[in-house]
Amino acid sequence: MAKIQAPVHKNEILDVEFEDLTHEGHAVAKVEGYPLFVQGALPEETGRIQVTKVNKGYGFGRLMETTKRSPYRVDVPKSEMHKYGGTQLSHISYEGQLKFKEKQVRDVMTRIGKLGDVPVHPVLGMENPWHYRNKAQVPVGEKNGQLISGFFKPRSHEIIDTNESLIQIAEINEAVQAVKEICNELHIQAYDETAHKGTLRHIVARYGKATGELMVVIVTRSSKLPQQEQLVEKIVNRLPKVKSIVHNINSKRTNVIMGEENRVLWGEPVIHDYIGDIKFAISARSFYQVNPDQTKVLYEKALEYAGLSGDETVIDAYCGIGTISLFLAQQAKKVYGVEIVPQAIEDAKQNAELNGITNVEFEVGEAETVIPNWYKQGIKADVLVVDPPRKGCDEALLQTIIDMKPKKVVYVSCNPGTLARDLRILEDGGYETAEVQPVDMFPMTGHVECVSQIVLKNS
């Protein structure tokens, strides 16, 4: 069989026109139908590129110059921060980012879901799309005898040293920088992953935007934290908003950031934050949305789509720490939440107690196993809410929904592609997608969340 030859070769210089943008933020140019992915370019632009990698079905290129600019292009400093620091779309105006994300959702609805007629609304964006993240997990290394911290260069473990992130809340940037400087002063060594020696692996900071409470987590290889008393004293003096200092021990050779063991060195084991009127306790390892302002927008839309009157039974599959469950419980008769992670269910129960919400029940297990068991016990949902991971809903859960026939399904998604796939399955099973509302939870990145209202036909 003849080997298929790509129409381009490595290091070739080409003049191209860019047609589209991937969800990673790469512009797409095609040469004889062969796609080339190029960072830093935009649709409707033309430019000169150098081919950097050639695979069988696609390749990559480096933008050398832009010969025709998009009206959505904005000039940013040519820094590794803008290139790699979680701001892959910072060269696109915010208006342009929202339009791109809306198009991305529309495209997958048509291409994957065969749902070209479904209303997709304009993306709900932020008033200020910078400095929104309430959590940082920053790797630490050493260079010339000094600690460095920042972010990994893509596809490597090379740390790009930086003093701030453009998408982290200011208090988070301040905390990470202060802890790095204090550890330098105390000569605490960075972890060396190659030799599996040294101490300091990551600095983690979490911030409750509504409460102003700050948590610092120091992740080390060793169970002993050098100069612990001086370290704690200096952090407390430098960071007046700190309410919790935690030592997390991760002794394994792994890319996983945090280990299983936490020790509270100072203050409380949790900090608190609010989404709307609901209060949440956040521990060092709790899952909690990183953009609470937009989480409120997303959950309010989910609540609107649920259309609760106070008489409904609601099931929340993939309930996590109960964020959506507790939101819905304010207007539902009863809410049942299921989640496979035991610690998340413990957090959900504690958060219900914290808010005095008694009309919720949480259970550990796989949604596709637990929900049919509830059904056999006579628990039937009027509204079913799903908020699955990026891979989308399990097929068995989708079949359970089709068999159970709740009048409404509210689908919260962090991946438009798997959302479109799952909507197609529900449509074929007797449902109709009423509308899709994208929400920009992660400005300056290619990610977009959606909430969809799905109704049972002839209900």
Residues that are catalytic: 414
Tell me the DSSP string of 385-439: EE---TT---HHHHHHHHHH--SEEEEEES-HHHHHHHHHHHHHTTEEEEEEEEE
Q: How far apart are CA 193 and CA 201, in angstroms?
A: 9
| 288 Cβ contact partners less than 8 Å away, ≥ 6 residues apart | 134, 135, 206, 273, 280, 282, 321, 323
Short-list 448, 442, 431, CA closest to 120: 448
- 306 touches 408 (CB < 8 A): yes
Which pairs count as long-range contacts for 232-241, CB under 8 Å and 24+ apart, including other chains? Answer: 232/265, 232/266, 234/182, 234/185, 234/186, 235/178, 235/179, 235/182, 235/266, 236/266, 238/178, 238/182, 239/174, 239/175, 239/178, 239/214, 241/171, 241/207, 241/212, 241/213, 241/214
- 58 touches 34 (CB < 8 A): yes
Q: How far apart are CA 173 and CA 164, in angstroms?
A: 5
- Residue with structure tokens 């008769």? 333
Q: Looking at the chain, how many residues does it have?
A: 459
Strand 200-208 versus strand 135-143 pairing type: antiparallel
Number of H helices, E strands in the chain: 10, 21
- For the four alpha carbons of 329, 396, 24 and 177, in that order, the dihedral sign comes to positive
- 198 touches 206 (CB < 8 A): no
Neighbouring-strand partners of residue 202: 139, 219
Q: How far apart are CA 50 and CA 435, in angstroms?
A: 42
